[in-house]
Amino acid sequence: MKFLKRWREQPVPGLHHWASQASVPQAAPCLAFVPASPPPDAGAIEKLQGFVLRCQRLFVLTGAGISTESGIPDYRSEGVGLYARSDRRPIQHAEFLRSAAARQKYWARNFVGWPRFSSHQPNAAHWALSSWEQQEKLHWLVTQNVDALHAKAGSRRMTELHGCTHRVVCLSCEARVSRQHLQEHFEALNPTWTAEAHGVAPDGDVFLPEEQVRHFRVPSCSKCGGVLKPDVTFFGDNVCKEKVDLVYQRLEESDAVLVAGSSLQVFSAYKFALAARDRKLPMAIVNIGPTRGDALASLKLNSRCGALLPLIVV
């Protein structure tokens, strides 16, 4: 297996060809996982337009709500989020580390879900933010998402706060390999194994009965024999200090904050909203439904990101 050099705030391997110009046609949004909301009215557009025009170095924080229009469910939206539709929860970091059976279950489910999950494409909101970067309005983008959709849209001034499912890391030697390459290895090791998926989570996970995963074979790192893990921050784990410090530095360089599609319930993201408040930076939030940061914002708009962000001229 060919391993990639250690990743340090670089684009996802193999995604450069998705970088787009504004003329690329946009697909219709997938609204199956998007909570109901009214279309943005003239007042909302005018308010966000004024907010964006008043800043020069915009810091943008995005969450699962920006990717729902690409057909990826979020966790918390009422009625449509994963937590609202199921009592199942994503794997915990400690469980993955201590249990070979848990890793087998995780990778079997991920193997089944990967073709569909990796095929999702950016929506109008991703393209809009990429365009803002190209026009030097967006200073830095921080995403909580692990779906690589910002990278597919061409965003480069970016931190993937919780990592990216398109990369896999060895827990022993820290070598990286592309997730697609690992998929091919899975296929070679499990030529006759089949399973039927039931639902797809925001991280590409699916739900399989226990009996279906027992015979699934999981490879070790071909470099050192170590355990392979998706290069993401699982629930119960922490974002590395080096990455957090970089985000704080980029926030310090910025003059305004836009939160797009995040409820800010996870503290690893909410703490940057708190830091923006401490720095007295104006903050706007575009999200369907309430967020943990509403009291911190000078502007809150209850709208689909894909419906509102492309209307803003920078």
Report yes or no: 163 and 230 within 8 Å, Cβ to Cβ: yes
78 annotated as ligand-binding: yes
120, 162, 166, 215: the active-site residue: 162
220 annotated as ligand-binding: no
73 annotated as ligand-binding: yes
226 annotated as ligand-binding: no
Helix 100-118 / helix 179-189 crossing angle, nearest 10 deg: 120
145 annotated as ligand-binding: yes
Name, in order, each residue with C-beta under 8 angstroms of 129's C-beta and a sequence gap of 6 or more.
60, 62, 138, 141, 150, 153, 155, 260, 309
CA distance 38 to 278: 32
288 annotated as ligand-binding: yes
103 annotated as ligand-binding: no
133 annotated as ligand-binding: no
| Full strand arrangement of the beta sheet holding 163-170 | 176-178, 163-170, 228-232
Residue 228 amino acid letter: L
83 annotated as ligand-binding: yes
167 annotated as ligand-binding: no
Residues linked to residue 59 through DSSP beta bridges, in sequence order? 140, 257
187 annotated as ligand-binding: no
63 annotated as ligand-binding: yes
248 annotated as ligand-binding: no
Q: Where are the alpha helices (DSSP H) in the chain?
A: 42-54, 82-85, 93-98, 100-118, 124-134, 149-152, 179-189, 210-213, 241-252, 267-278, 305-308
Measured at the alpha carbon of residue 204, what is the angle toward residues 199 and 207, in degrees to the nearest 5? 35
231 annotated as ligand-binding: no
128 annotated as ligand-binding: no
75 annotated as ligand-binding: yes
What is the DSSP code (8-state) at residue 200?
B
CA distance 282 to 146: 27
SS3 assignment, position 167: strand
CA distance 34 to 310: 17
Active-site residue 162, yes or no? yes
Residue numbers belonging to the annotated binding site for Zn(2+): 170, 173, 221, 224
Q: Kindly list the catalytic residues.
A: 162
State the binding site for NAD(+): 63-83, 144-147, 261-263, 287-289, 305
Annotated binding site: 63-83, 144-147, 170, 173, 221, 224, 261-263, 287-289, 305
